[in-house]
Structure 1
Amino acid sequence: MRSSSLPGPQIQHWLHNLSKREQWRHLLRATLRECTYLPDPIARIYMKDHILSRYRAASSRSNKAGPQTVHTARNALSVLRRANEGYSRPLEKVLFLSYGRTGRRRHELLAKMLTPQIPNDTLGLQELLSQPAQFGDCWEAPAIVRSLAAAHMQNTVVTSARIRPLIKHLKPPIPQQNTWCKEVPESRRRNIRRRWYNSTLNSLLPPLPEDDLRILDGLISGTVPWSPVKRRKVKTQIAQTESESKLFTLLARGPEKGKTFAEYVNGRPHTLTARYMRRQWRRLSALIPRPSWNSEYQKWSFTWETPKAIPRLSPGMANGIDPASIFEMVAKAKSGVSREHRAQ
C-alpha cells in the first residue's frame, strides 16, 4: 500500500510541469499582468521592476528551481491578484513594499539616508579621518539616526502599527558593571553598541524621496488624478473534459462541500474606489516621516501625518471680514435679548 504522504502520479505530473520553461514564462507573464492592474501608480512601476529582478536572479542560479522557489513565485502572483481584487491585507503589503516601509526598498532608502557626504576640501577630509572608530567608546550613531529613532518612540501611530520592531533604547544599554562587579570589557561594550545600532536600523522607517512623496500627497488631496485600472477581457479557454475538470477541482479545493465562509477568512474584497484608496494612502502616509533641518539647533527634526483627517474646529471666514466686528455683533445681539427679557 502506498503511503499517503507521497504525492500521487497526477500531482507529480503537475509539479513536473511547473519546472518547465513554458510554465515559468506563463507564471511571469501572469504576474507582470497583475502588476499593470495595481491601483497605485508607484506600486505599478516598483512591483514590475521587483518581479523582474527576482526572476532574473532566480534564472542566473546554476541549480534548478526547487519547490520553495515555485511556492514563492506562485505566492507573489496570489498576493497581487488579491490586492487587485480589493483585499485589504494584500493591498497593504504591496503598498508597504512599494513605498519602502518593508522589504528591499526600505534598505535602499536607509542606505541612501546614511551615505556620508564627500568632503569638498582637505579640512573636511581630515575631520572625516579623525572620527573615532566605529562602535568604540567615543563612537556615536549618526545624528539623523538618533533624531529619527526619537521621533519613532514619540509617535503612537508607528508603535501601534507594529510593522517594524519597536525601539526600546535611544542609547546602547551598556551596564556599569558585569556579573563579577567589574568594569565591562571593551569587546563587550563594542558588541553591545553594534547590536543596538543594527536593531535600531532594523526598526526605522526611512523618509521617502520628494517625488514619490509629492505623488502620494497629491493622491490623498485629489490634485493627482486617479481612476481605477480597467482589466482586459479574459480569452475563453478550451473546455476541459469532465474527468480533468473534476480532478483539477479535487486537487485545488478538496472534496465538494456546502457553502461556507472559507473565502472570507482572511478578509473580504472591496471595490477599489477613490474613497477606499484615499483611506489606504492616508494610513500609509502616517508611516512616512517628513524630515526638516533645524538651522537654529543644528539637528534634524521629523514630523508625521495623521492616519485620519482632522476635522476643522471652526468655519472659515470670507476675505475682507474683520474678526473684531463679529464680536461686536454678538455683543449687540446679546444686549438686545437682555433688554427684551427685562421688558417682559
Structure 2
Amino acid sequence: MPVSLQQSASNLKSLHLLRALLREATYLPDATARTYFRQYVVNRYKAYQPKQNATASFDVQAVEKYRHRSFKRRQIAIINDRTRPLLRKGQKGLNFLRRANQGEIPCLQKILYFAYGRMGRRKYALLDSLLKPDLTVDGHAEPLPGSEELAPLQKLYYSNKRYLQYFDAPTPSSKTNYTIRISDRYSRLREVIKSQYQKGVKIRRELKSSALVTPINNVWERPMPIKRARNNVRRWYAATLSALLPPLPNDEWDNIRAMILKEKHISFAKRRKPVLEPEPADEERFAIAIEEGLALYTPSRANKPAGLHRPHTINVKFMRRLYTRLLMLCCKLDYDVEHKKWRATWGDSMKGISPTIYTMPTDGTLFAGVDAAGRVPIPPKKSDNDVETDSVKKTRLHKEAYVRFPFFADYLPKTHPVRKDLDRWKKKRAAAASESE
C-alpha cells in the first residue's frame, strides 16, 4: 500500500475513534467527568497532531478549573512510530468508557476517581497547589525562619533538593530516633497528611506515619551518613505523596455531598437516538457474516458483558452509592479562625442504620437460656464428693438391673470411688435377690 494511502486510512480511523471517544464521554452520568474526559481526549489528540495542522488556540485549551494542562506536542517521527499502538490504546479506552456507561461498577468508579483527582493527572495538579507554602496577609509566601535561601533540612543536609524544603529540622523523639515533621510553612499539607493517617483513608496503600521517624545512628552505632539521611527523607516523601489524597475544592466537595443527601439533582445525560439504517439484503447479510467469521473477531466486554461485573442500571440510588464511596476518599480544607489552623473534613459513610429497628417488642422465650453474648451457659462441674458418678448412672436397663463397671474394679483399693460404687451396687443386688426369694 502506498504511504499516502496508508496515512489517509490511518487518519480516517483516528477521526472515527476520536468521534466515538467524544460521543461516549458525553454519555457519562457525571457532569465533572464529562468535562474532564472530553478535554483529556482532545488534548491527547492535539499532542499527536502535526505542528502545521495546529490551531492558534492550542496553548489556551487547558481548563483552568481543573488545572489540566495540555500534553507536550510530539515530533513527526514519534507520531508516525506511535500511531498504531496508540490507536489500539484508544480502542481500549473506548471500550472502558462504554462499559462505564453501561453501569459496570469498577469502570464507573475509576472514571469518578480520575475526574475528581483521586488518581491520574488531576491528582498531581491538586497536589501541585497543595505543595505551595502558606500565604501571609499581604498575599506573599511565608518567609523561611532564619534563612531566606534554604530550608532548615536543606541547610542541615547540604543539599538544595526540592523534597527537603517541606520538612523542619530533626528533633530527638527518643535515645535512638529522630522525628522529622512537616514544616509550619506548609500547614495545609501537614493537616491533610495527619488527618488521612488518623482516619486510615486509602485507595491502595495507606500512609505509614504522619511524620518521618529515622534512626540517629547506623548499625555500627556511628552518626548517620548525610547521604543515607537524605535518602530516608526522599523515600518517605515519595511513599507519602503516592498514597496521599489531595483535598478537593470546597464547592466540588459540597456538590458531591449535596447529591448524596438529595439536596441537588444528579445531571444525567441523554443518549442520542441511533440512525435507522435499511436492513441489508440476504446476499449482503451473508457476505457480512462470512467476513466476520473469517476475521475471528473477539467481542470485548463492552459488547458481551457478563459475570460479576455485569451492567447495572444507572439511576439516582446507584449514583448515590458511588458518590458515597468517592466522598469517603475526599476531603476539603477550611481555616479555623479561632484556633488559627487548617481543618480537614473527610466524607463519612451514609450507611448508618437507625437503632429504632432494634427496639421492637420481642417474645422473651425467644432468647431464654442464653447469656448476653447469645451463648448457652456451661453448667458447673460436679465435685468429687458426689455419691454417684457418671459411670454408675450409665445403666443397661431402666430398672438399673445391670451396671457397667471396668473389669479391674474388683482389684482396686476399697477407698477408690469406683470400688465403692461397685460394692454398693453388689449390696443392692444381693438385697433385691433376697427380697425376690
Q: Quick one: which amino acid aligns to residue 180 of structure 1? A: W
Aligned residues with identical type, % of pairs: 31
Alignment equivalent of 1:204, drawn from 244, 261, 282: 244
CA contact (8 A) 1:18 1:24 kept: no
1:27-57 deviation digits (Å, cap 9, x = unpaired): 0111101111111111111111111111212
* Aligned match of 2:291: 247
**1:195-216 CA distances to partner (integer Å, 9 max, x unpaired)?**
2112211111111112222321
Equivalence for 1:12: none
Counterpart position of 2:86: 69
1:145 maps to which residue? 189
Aligned to 1:36: 26
**Cα distance, 1:124 vs structure 2:** 5.2
Name the CA distance, whole Å, in 2 between partners of 1:227 and 1:181.
Answer: 63
Separation in structure 2 between the aligned mates of residue 211 and residue 85 of structure 1, nearest angstrom: 28
**Helix, strand or coil: the match of 1:33?**
helix
Q: Provide the residue aligned with 1:310 in structure 2.
A: 352
Residue 273 of structure 2 is matched in structure 1 by 233
1:81 and 1:17 map into 2 onto residues whose CA distance is 28
Structure 1: give runs of 5+ residues left out of the alignment. 1-15, 255-261, 316-344
Match of residue 232, structure 2, among 192, 216, 230: 192
| Larger mean Cα displacement after TM superposition, 81-90 or 234-243 | 234-243
- Aligned partner of 2:130 in structure 1 is 113
Change (3 A) 1:19 1:108: farther
Unmatched 5+ stretches in structure 2: 1-5, 50-72, 155-161, 171-180, 358-437
Counterpart residue number, 1:213: 253
Give the number of the structure with larger relative contact order, counting CA–CA contacts within 8 Å between residues 6 or more apart: 1
Q: Which moved more, 1:267-276 or 1:141-150?
A: 141-150
Matches within 5 A, 1:93-172: 93-117=110-134, 120=138, 125=143, 127=145, 129=148, 131-132=151-152, 133=154, 135=164, 138=169, 140-141=181-182, 142-156=186-200, 158-159=201-202, 163-172=203-212
1:168-211 Cα distance to aligned partner (Å, 9 max, x none) = 13222422222333111112111211221122111111111122
One-letter amino acid matched to 1:61: R
Q: Does 1:279 align with 2:321?
A: yes
Give the alignment's Cα RMSD to 1 decimal.
Answer: 3.1
Distance change >3 Å, CA 247–CA 311, structure 1 → 2: same
SS at match of 2:47: helix
2:95 corresponding residue in structure 1: 78
Distance in 2 of aligned mates of 1:303 and 1:175: 33
Max radius of gyration: which structure? 2
Q: How many pairs are equivalent?
A: 290
245-254 or 187-196, larger mean C-alpha shift = 245-254
1: distance between equivalents of 2:193 and 2:19? 41
* Counterparts in 2 of 1:307 and 1:51: CA distance versus 1, 3 Å: farther
Query: Which of 183, 187, 190 pairs up with 2:223?
Result: 183
SS at match of 1:32: helix
Against the structure 1 CA distance between its residues 205 and 233, is the aligned structure 2 distance closer, same or farther, given a 3 Å change threshold?
same
SS at match of 1:205: coil
Q: Does the CA-based 8 Å contact 1:42-1:212 persist in structure 2?
A: no
* Equivalent AA in structure 1 for residue 323 of structure 2: W
Structure 1 residue 103: Cα displacement:
0.5
Following the alignment from structure 2 to structure 1, what is the Cα–Cα distance between the partners of residues 191 and 29? Answer: 34
Match of 1:5 in 2: none
- Per the TM alignment, residue 146 of structure 1 is displaced from its structure 2 partner at its CA by 2.8
